Amino acid sequence: MTTNATIDSKLVRAIADEQLANNVFMIEWLVKAQQQLSLQQRLIDQQQQQISTQQQEIEKLKEERDKLKNRNSKNSSVPPSSDQLKKPSDKKKRKKGFKRGPKYDHPGKTRNGFGQPDKIVPLELENCPVCGGSVERDEVVPEKVQQVAEVVDQPIEIREYRRGFYKCPSCG
């Protein structure tokens, strides 16, 4: 029985030593984690302090900007020539009697192209540029015609590009 008792006491001691080692390891780990947390908390506190000082500085700069933006010859030593012209806010305060756009009897100017083109280039669209699906030509909307005059071997070559309007059935 003494051998069994010594074996049992050695086994109990080994288990106790192992648990003690595990406890020491856990305590060391907890201490390191606590140190890291306190370091991170100090860093967070410093960053919050920096943020609050920057917000105060931003508010001061906004106030200065508003003061400078609202300066004119009436409330500062700025000369009247540097005042920005502002339109009257009400339509009633604007001058009446003046029509906007070209005046009456104004000869209109419209460019009607270069005449008969030397080359007609149809521009076709095969796939939708948005979804990549097939497209259908919209026959209701007329083609967009663009004439380009280029200087080449001949005196001038006139090309006409005809671009139809297409509609994608899937994405519209």
Q: What is the CA radius of gyration of the chain?
A: 42
**Paired tokens of 79:** 């000369």
**Paired tokens of 81:** 């020539």
- 164's CB contacts (< 8 A; 6+ apart) are 122, 123, 124, 125, 137, 138, 143, 144
CA distances from 57 to 44, 45, 61, 127 (A): 20, 18, 6, 54
**Paired tokens of 127:** 């796939």
What does each of the 172 residues of the chain score in pLDDT, given as a tens digit? 566 777 778 888 888 888 889 899 999 999 999 999 999 999 999 999 999 999 999 999 999 988 888 887 777 787 887 777 766 566 655 566 666 777 777 777 777 777 778 788 888 888 888 888 888 888 778 888 888 877 767 677 777 778 777 778 788 6
pTM of the model: 0.34
Q: Can you tell me the distance from the alpha carbon of 145 to that of 15, in angstroms, rounded to the nearest whole number?
A: 93
**Paired tokens of 35:** 């140190």
